[in-house]
Structure 1
Amino acid sequence: MRLLIYLMGYTLANVLAILERELRSDRHRRYLGLGRRFKINRRYQECVGPGDLPGHCKHPLFCAMNVVGSSKNPVEHLCVIEKTFVGVCCPDDILLSNIVGSRIIMDLPAGGEDYDEQQNFTMGCGIFIDEKPQQSSAKEWPWLASLYDPETSKPFCGGALITDRHILTAAHCTEGRTPSDMRVRLGEYDYARPDETRARNFEISEIKEHEEFELSTYFNDIAILTLTNATGFNTYIWPICLPPLNKNYVNETVIVAGWGQISYSGNTSNILRQVEIPVWEHERCADSFVQTINEKTICAAAYEGGRDSCKGDSGGPLLHQLPNGRWVIIGIVSWGIGCGQKGQPGIYTRVDSYIPWILTNTIAK
């Protein structure tokens, strides 16, 4: 009733114009979800969406389907947000609705803290569509990307899917390469069994290395790959969330995964492997190396040695699960001295130090 009163005297053209202003204003606010606890995908009051699907009122830009365009009578699915904005009734389970024109995720890359705790895990980044597998599989880490040589089909680096077209990786993985020198594989688990999963291969249209990347020191070791074609999302392929800013991970247990060498100077792995490791205090890490360890890095490995990333894991994500259940990429495998040596952890590019750069080279384009 309040919505009808609010819209009384407005024609459909007026309402659509209001929505368009909402879209434009929200585009300028898309970055705020990473700078503070602005909820990009916040759900407001319950409502009934197109197709009589249960949903919640949301800002139009942040609904994963075109509610107005898919409705015979768009006014029926409009709502008011906090007595200020015109929203749309966005179905909760777009992934399951099979409505023409719907998309699983519209606002990417997204921050892991943009979602409430225990929010229904049917949408958004950093989640498992099926229940989390009990053993390692492609479904366990659906955001893992493998970078491989198209001539040999052998992987040489890893990466992480952050939108339907962007892979976050290490700049040293792309140094000296052109887009035609590389391919990206998503949804892979076992390279020795090509028909095991729904893996998909993608060509690359652009490589964007950080402008201040230094090959001699690996400072600013971060790059973004743009896929020629956008990927769809399923149980094998799903985007990871970006991390909150300035969070302290010291002594937190994190996970690194990839197809790298099983041991130093050993063979690379055909199957996706993972290991749990703790994050080190920065001062303790810096004291372990002759090289400069700057504040834009994270150090992680087993204190006793033996558990670490290795050659071939470069560019892959260092993963952490937030209290709300979302997985975020807090680091990118960068470099180390050997693999698994006691007293010398692996060095990871700290992702939250580069979030403005990531946004500039993804959603700002």
Structure 2
Amino acid sequence: MKNVLRALKRCAVTGAIALAAVSLQPAGATAAPTPGSAGTQPVVGGTRAAQGEFPFMVRLSMGCGGSLYAKDIVLTAAHCVSGSGNNTSITATAGVVDLQSSSAIKVKSTKVLQAPGYNGSGKDWALIKLAKPINLPTLKIATSTAYNTGTFDIAGWGAAREGGAQQRYLLKAKVPFVSDASCKTSYADLIPGEELCAGLPQGGVDTCQGDSGGPMFRKDNAGAWVQVGIVSWGNGCARPNYPGVYTEVSTFASAIAQAAAGL
């Protein structure tokens, strides 16, 4: 039977449209908290990102994170959306680290595509088509496992502590790769090849509730950002010996490209 952690994800709200944290590393074993007022304290182990530092970051109105896969398409987590089809209920906010900034770019969704075959376990990716393009840099995705190693960057507006409030300012942190073998000792139901893990053995840095759907990324050999993971789930936030679990983007790169072409 699948672990109960699967049902909780890293969401800021409960229900079909859930969201996980990308601010620093929580992996949701506890019930998802209700979004509170935005705070200014660091995310779990994180610090504030500078304006323009991660221009591809997107905040979604259901309480999830995301990244600009294309100027008019956001890549997020499957558990953040309720299914596929026409959808004008989601607002994407981009271009700012301060969600209350008057410079924020806000664009409505038109369609959603949830990963085919998604059933709450693995395949945790989705695409959101926007009503108009956002003229900001996009984040390319990994097409091989070559970058599934080393130290990753995470960022988001999720809770700064387990059970905490959502954040007003974008927070960032770094987490190291954790091997599948090591991660399986914490999560027996990890799906190697579809999921990868990152976090410190002592905890203290992680994504958390409200970061779901946001990117885990690093520099490629040319110094450009490349997305290797999508914030998915975990046991609490930044707990010792419980790293964050992320969708392994390279596994689904072809499917994501095909889906985006059809939106």
- Shorter-normalised TM-score: what interval? 0.7 to 0.9
2:232 is the counterpart of 1:362? no
Counterpart among 105, 111, 114 of residue 209 in structure 1: 114
Per-residue CA deviations over 1:312-362 (Å, capped at 9, x if unaligned) read: 000000011012111001000000110001111111001111111111122
CA distance in 1, matches of 2:261, 2:112: 16
In structure 2, the partner of 1:336 is 234
Counterpart among 189, 207, 214 of residue 309 in structure 1: 207
Structure 1: 5+ residue runs without aligned partners?
1-134, 150-155
Aligned 8 A contact 2:89 2:108 in 1: no
Which letter maps to 1:144? M
What secondary structure, in the 3-state scheme, does the structure 2 residue paired with 1:283 have? Answer: helix
In structure 1, the partner of 2:4 is none
Aligned 8 A contact 1:160 1:317 in 2: yes
In structure 1, the partner of 2:181 is 283
In structure 2, the partner of 1:229 is 132
2:48 is the counterpart of 1:171? no
Which letter maps to 2:96? E
* Identical aligned residues as a percent: 28
1:293 Cα offset (Å): 3.0
Higher RCO (Cα < 8 Å, 6 or more apart): 2
More helix by share: 1
CA distance in 1, matches of 2:90, 2:203: 33
Aligned 8 A contact 2:162 2:208 in 1: yes
In structure 2, the partner of 1:249 is 148
CA distance in 1, matches of 2:51, 2:126: 23
Which letter maps to 1:180? T
1:248 Cα offset (Å): 5.1
Aligned 8 A contact 1:179 1:203 in 2: no
- Cα pair distance change 1:139/1:248, threshold 3 Å: closer
Aligned 8 A contact 2:153 2:175 in 1: yes
Question: Which structure has the larger Rg over C-alpha atoms?
Answer: 1
Aligned 8 A contact 1:179 1:205 in 2: yes
In structure 1, the partner of 2:40 is none
Aligned 8 A contact 2:89 2:109 in 1: no
1:229 Cα offset (Å): 1.1
Q: How does 1:112-261 map to 2 (within 5 A)?
A: 136-149=49-62, 156-175=63-82, 179-191=87-99, 193-195=100-102, 198-215=103-120, 217=121, 219-232=122-135, 237-247=136-146, 249-250=148-149, 252-261=150-159
What secondary structure, in the 3-state scheme, does the structure 1 residue paired with 2:65 have? Answer: strand
CA RMSD of aligned residues (A): 1.9
CA distance in 1, matches of 2:98, 2:73: 23
What secondary structure, in the 3-state scheme, does the structure 2 residue paired with 1:247 have? Answer: helix
Aligned residues: 216
CA distance in 1, matches of 2:244, 2:98: 25
**TM superposition score normalised by structure 1:** 0.56
1:176 Cα offset (Å): 5.8
CA distance in 2, matches of 1:267, 1:322: 33
1:179 Cα offset (Å): 2.1
CA distance in 1, matches of 2:140, 2:186: 31
CA distance in 2, matches of 1:162, 1:290: 31
- Cα pair distance change 1:364/1:180, threshold 3 Å: closer
Which letter maps to 1:227? L
Aligned 8 A contact 1:306 1:342 in 2: yes
